[in-house]
Structure 1
C-alpha cells in the first residue's frame, strides 16, 4: 500500500456536473486501486488543510463567463497563501465543464497553480459544448488515471 491521499475539489451546481464529479470519484475508487485515500469536497468545503494533507489534487470546475467558477476562485483565495511554498510540486489535474471552449478557465487555473508551483500531471480535460454522455466516461478515466498514477508513484 502506498498510503497516498488524493483530494478532489469539485464545483457541482447542477445534476450534470454532479454526475461528472461522481464519475471522477468512481474512477479514483476502482477496486484495483489500493492504498489511495480519497477526500471529496466542494470548493466551499475545501481549504488549505485538505490541500496540505494531500499528495495530489484533482480540480473540477464549470466555465463561468470564460473563467473558473466563483466557488473554485474562493477556494484558491483561501488556500493560496497558506499553501504557498509548502506544496511546491504538488501533482494536480484539471477538469472543466465548459459551455464554450474552456480556454479562459484553463488559463486562469494554470496561472494560480503556476504561482503555487503545482505540477500538472495530465492535460486539462475540457468537456466542451452541450452535455454528452461521453463526458461521464472521460471523467471516470481521469479519476482512474490520477489515483493509479498516485498509487504507482508516477507522481
Structure 2
C-alpha cells in the first residue's frame, strides 16, 4: 500500500472546497492501493513525510508568499527529512488572489532544497473564484494517486 499525503492550508470555504476536491480525487474508487492522508500544515510534520510516497501541497497566496502555516510545516520538517526523502514526488496548488508568482517561487525554492521531484508544474488558481478550480484540483488528486498506484511516480 502506497501513501499520498495532502498538506493543505484551508482557512476559507473555497480553500476547504479545494482541499476536499484533492482528497476526493485521490480517493477515486478506481484507485485501490493508495492510502490518502489529509492534514492541515500545522498538524503535519516530519513523521508524516517519512511515511509518505508522494505529497500534494496546497496553499493560499498570502502577501505574495505561501501561507504562514505551510511555511511553519516546512520549518519544522525541512532538516528532519532532508537526507531521507530526496526524490519524493510532489505537486502544488496555489489559490492566488493575484498572480501567485511569489508563492510559487517560495515553495519551489524549498522543494528544490529538499530535492523533491515535481510530477507536474504547480497549479496556480488565479483571480476570482471559478467553479473549474474544484475540478482541476480533483484531477490533480486523482493523477497523483493513480500515478502512485501504477508505479510511475
Aligned to 1:104, which of 102, 105, 109?
102
Shift of 1:109: 0.4
TM-score, length of structure 2 as denominator length: 0.99
Q: Count how many residue pairs are aligned between Structure 1 and Structure 2.
A: 153
Unaligned runs of 5+ in 2: none
Shift of 1:47: 0.2
In structure 2, the partner of 1:93 is: 91
d(CA) in 2 for partners of 1:128 and 1:149? 26
1:18-33 pair list within 5 angstroms: 18-33=16-31
Aligned to 1:36, which of 31, 34, 37?
34
Match status 1:125 vs 2:123: yes
Instruction: For residues 56-86 of structure 1, give each alpha carbon's deviation from its aligned partner in whole angstroms, at most 9, with x where no partner exists.
Output: 0000000001100000000000000101111
TM-score, length of structure 1 as denominator length: 0.98
Unaligned runs of 5+ in 1: none
Runs of 4+ aligned structure 1 residues displaced above 6 Å come to none
d(CA) in 2 for partners of 1:40 and 1:11? 11
Match status 1:153 vs 2:143: no
Instruction: For residues 94-143 of structure 1, give each alpha carbon's deviation from its aligned partner in whole angstroms, at most 9, with x where no partner exists.
Output: 01000011111111001001000000001111110011111000000000
d(CA) in 2 for partners of 1:153 and 1:140? 20
d(CA) in 2 for partners of 1:10 and 1:112? 16
In structure 2, the partner of 1:81 is: 79
d(CA) in 1 for partners of 2:148 and 2:62? 30
In structure 1, the partner of 2:6 is: 8
Aligned-pair Cα RMSD in Å: 0.5
SS at 1:67 equivalent: coil
